[in-house]
Amino acid sequence: MDWVRGKCLVKGSYGSVFLARPTNIISPPLAVKFALIINSFSLQKELKILFSLSGSEGVIQCYGDCLSHKNGMTIYNLLLKYAPDGSLADLINKCGGKIPECDVRRYSQMILKGLSSIHNNGYVHCDIKLANILVFLSDQQDLSQLKIADFGLAKSLMNAKEPDEEDSRKFFYQYTFQGTPMASVTSSNMEQGNSVKVDTHFRQMYRRYSHGKKKLD
């Protein structure tokens, strides 16, 4: 697929994401994560995970990867579905820092189903936060659809017992991670390398922010 890079969408702790427009005008725009080929291990791992999760409910769609060249350097590109409506953090901010309780419950169900799909396929996300949950408006439904994205820190559960959907929450308490710095429980936990509970911090953050206690940056 040929495409042209557009504006920068996100500059994160582990790389940047750009908007890309395919030269075929029929195709929708893409979100492209990129890194120099020598620094692309995390993106290549993410590609493998997303392909194994292809078709899973509540997980961002991946279209593949490709290489490009700029200023004599080889760049690795990961091609993803573009979310023009931003992240769950953006959605909460647009609602004035608070969304209805009934929507909180329904959004939580979407995210838990996505996490269940991830766990059932042998992975734990390790970096669940509002910025990594993307929003897709639906013309046929009264509520936006949410998709989990950014699997750069995901871990394999090859040696763990796979849960069924009812037991998905149990996995929140069984694994450790460090995550991106701004989403970790405390900076001291990061600096000292202390273990924190995986995929549980999202639930605390979401409950806190979605009820209007703090506006998200």
Tell me which of 127, 139, 142, 167 is the catalytic residue.
127
Asked if residues 75 and 24 have their Cβ atoms less than 8 Å apart, the reply is no
What are the structural domain ranges in the chain?
3-81, 88-210
Higher pLDDT, 88 or 1: 88
pLDDT tens column, 23-33: 877 788 999 99
pTM given for the model: 0.73
DSSP E strand stretches across the chain: 3-12, 15-22, 30-36, 62-70, 73-81, 123-124, 133-136, 145-148, 155-156
Mean pLDDT, rounded, for 112-119: 91
**Which pLDDT score is estimated for 208?**
56
The correct answer on CATH 3.30.1490.20 for the domain covering 3-81 is no
Query: In this structure, are residues 134 and 76 in contact, taking their beta carbons and an 8 Å threshold?
Result: no
pLDDT reported for residue 77: 94
- Per residue in 164-215, pLDDT (tens digit) is 444 434 433 443 334 554 454 433 343 333 333 555 555 455 555 455 555 4
In this structure, are strands 145-148 and 62-70 parallel, antiparallel, or unpaired? unpaired
- Catalytic-residue membership of 127: yes
pLDDT in tens, 59-87: 999 999 999 998 999 999 999 999 999 99
- Is the domain spanning 88-210 CATH 1.10.260.40? The answer is no
